[in-house]
Amino acid sequence: MRTNLNKIQRCPGCGNFLIHVAIKNALKQLNLPKHKVVVVSGIGCASKIPQYIDSYGCESLHGRSLAFATGVKLGNPDLTVICYWGDGDGYGIWLGHFLHSCRRNINLTYIVANNENYGLTTGQASPTTPLHVKTRSTPEGNVSLPFDPNGLAKSAGCGYSVRMVDKDLPLLTQAIVDGILHEWFSHIDVDQACPSWRRW
């Protein structure tokens, strides 16, 4: 963990803190030196991760981290490349990259901090917001059905796609270890607490 920046920029109780600890534990367990790890994100609360994990990293563009990470991995296959971002990034703006990454099956570890809303932009509905829930963008209740990210991944050919909870650190850590050890594309959707906006 970086110690100079990690005291800022997140609400108390945010699940991203726990997921970061799980990633850190997984990297430690696998004995991966920091110069061999690249964490690529997009834009959002979750996507601030490169500011917190002491490795190589890049906050790329909203929705584009898988494209960036694919380039990093192809350029240097020896690197462990982790994509980490939110559900708006991963399942909304550029869902296509997710499905094509499953199909191409390049060895990336894809972790989505799924708080079921667009946290950074103050809690609008995302593709995983449950039906009928009231958000800043659905004041009368969400009328769109949420989709199932793991079902989508599997239908696109992903051989490792799991759903975890941020609070279960041992299980989440193990899922990340398994995802990194999986030699193809791996997808970990994490049910993430967002006390500021996800009040359902």
Ligand X SMILES: Cc1ncc(C[n+]2csc(CCOP(=O)(O)OP(=O)(O)O)c2C)c(N)n1
Q: Which is nearer to ligand X, 39 or 79 (CB)?
A: 39
Q: Which residue has the tokens 């979750």?
A: 46
- From the list 102, 28, 110, 99, the residue with the least C-alpha distance to 69 is 110
Q: What is the rounded (10 degree) CA torsion for 196, 6, 34, 179?
A: -10
* Residue 164 binding ligand X, by CB under 6 A: no
- For residues 16 to 55, the per-residue mask of contacts with ligand X, x marking binding by CB under 6 A and - elsewhere, is ---------------------------xxxx---------
- For residues 70 to 99, the per-residue mask of contacts with Mg ion, x marking binding by CB under 5 A and - elsewhere, is ----------------xxx-----------
Cα separation of 36 and 111, whole Å?
18
- From the list 109, 99, 149, the residue with the least C-alpha distance to 129 is 149
Q: What residues make contact with ligand SF4 under the rule CB under 6 A?
A: 10-11, 14, 16, 45, 115, 119, 194-197
| Helix and strand element counts for the chain (H, E) | 6, 8
Number of residues in contact with ligand X, rule: CB under 6 A?
19
Contact assessment for residue 190 and residue 166, using Cβ atoms and an 8 Å cutoff: yes
* Residue 115 binding Mg ion, by CB under 5 A: yes
- In the complex, residue closest to ligand X by CB: 86
Q: Which residues in the 67-96 window bind ligand X by CB under 6 A? A: 85-89, 93
At 23, which amino acid appears? Answer: I
Sites of contact with ligand X (CB under 6 A): 43-46, 62, 85-89, 93, 113, 115, 117-121, 126
